[in-house]
Structure 1
């Protein structure tokens, strides 16, 4: 099977850098600083106009847990339909029950809205009660990829679970295991040495770009504590290039 390096981006500049670095696929979101939210169709169109890479759109209506109301699921379905029309090549989604299982009813509604386009189950699996059962359920629903850190804060910490999911992939012919959270060139080398079946990786490759603003009013945060307004997170083409070389 082909090795895959997917890069998560939330801007046109990051998409261009990911393509320059040799990414195989993009995951597009907004608000990456809070783990990613559903992206704008207009940004997708901008990226598709200058980048030939396939783009899967992350579908997440808000930050926080993955226990969604009926209204939130309907919002996601409407966003999926809009992004399909804007040129999305696939989607990244997931929903859990209050007991931490995959919400099959919600998932089926989302999959129906995707209308047969490729789907990745996102990292809701990493906060589920039984990641292996969630993987099996995702496989039964027809999901082709599962993004996971191995139910840990980083993929290097989650190697035991990743090993079990990779073994399950081989056992049932299940979805690709897309390894994420803390992925870089060194991490890919470590994971491939420990997990020979690892062949798909997800990274952001972000660096902080200094703001061009000369005037800066300090002490007026616009969002999460600890984030300032004078540095912009952006994908670094060099980091992507190094990761791609490690993967190949």
Structure 2
């Protein structure tokens, strides 16, 4: 086992600061985490960049839904990658598929070039692609640094078998960043059973709004999600994951050198 990575996905300055206090090694910055994340705003990035001294990867996803983008949407993705690169982003989280479910290698190559020296992560578009092994091979050829995946299942624990195979196939060329349902318990299991070392979590909890006056019968968003529920990263959940990673890594090193 080499060095570990604990990446925390955040969609606010408050969550970003909590994640760093908890020990995050890296942030994935997005907007609208409640719908899986979309491209963050410029001012949001600038404030997080100013407040946090860890690497920041920016999710570039123009909308909720599938990963088959129109020409206009792809142009937006390209321009946003260039913009955030100039603003000082350390990396980019992107993904494009073709109608047949395979990775859109032409567009991914164009994004790799647009990202310049920045790191690139293929996000969970990978989890709905047709052939994960083919996509992994293509990712290596393109020069994508990381694949964020749950093993093509709803959660990382359900996708454990495929995750283990991907980690072995990826070797030292591509990081397999385990996501979806990641917490201290899942980390302990996956480090032990499949030698996972890169993890992506949100550590989110629902905080109650500070509003005193509330119009409870008006809903402006997704049914089932209250207008006064605020999603925030919990510093303690991140800290628990961080401490576990450190302990497991130290134990492994001591066994190896002993």
> 2: CA distance between counterparts of 1:151 and 1:11?
27
Alignment of 1:121-132 (within 5 A): 121-132=122-133
The match for 2:229 is: 231
The match for 1:107 is: 108
> The residue matched to 1:202 in structure 2 has which SS?
strand
The TM-score with structure 2 as length reference comes to 0.93
The match for 1:56 is: 57
Unpaired runs of 5+ in structure 1? none
Alignment of 1:176-191 (within 5 A): 176-191=175-190
Question: Residue 106 of structure 1: CA displacement?
Answer: 1.1
Query: Which of 205, 218, 221 in structure 2 is aligned with 1:220?
Result: 218
| 8 Å Cα contact 1:169/1:175 also seen in 2 | yes
> 2: CA distance between counterparts of 1:191 and 1:21?
21
Question: Residue 150 of structure 1: CA displacement?
Answer: 0.2
- C-alpha distance after superposition, 1:7-36 (max 9, x if no partner): 000000000000000000000000101100
Question: Residue 69 of structure 1: CA displacement?
Answer: 1.1
Question: Residue 116 of structure 1: CA displacement?
Answer: 2.5
The match for 1:195 is: 194
- TM superposition outliers: structure 1 runs of 4+ over 2 Å: none
- C-alpha distance after superposition, 1:43-95 (max 9, x if no partner): 11101112100000011110000011111111111111111122211100010
Count of aligned positions: 245
> The residue matched to 1:178 in structure 2 has which SS?
strand
The match for 2:254 is: none
Alignment of 1:116-155 (within 5 A): 116-155=117-156
Question: Residue 174 of structure 1: CA displacement?
Answer: 2.6
> 1: CA distance between counterparts of 2:218 and 2:82?
37
> The residue matched to 1:174 in structure 2 has which SS?
coil
> 1: CA distance between counterparts of 2:21 and 2:74?
35
The match for 1:18 is: 19
Question: Residue 167 of structure 1: CA displacement?
Answer: 1.1
> The residue matched to 2:117 in structure 1 has which SS?
coil
> 2: CA distance between counterparts of 1:243 and 1:103?
34
Unpaired runs of 5+ in structure 2? 247-258
The match for 1:169 is: 170
The TM-score with structure 1 as length reference comes to 0.97
- C-alpha distance after superposition, 1:182-209 (max 9, x if no partner): 000011011112112x100000000111
> 2: CA distance between counterparts of 1:79 and 1:230?
31
> 1: CA distance between counterparts of 2:134 and 2:180?
21
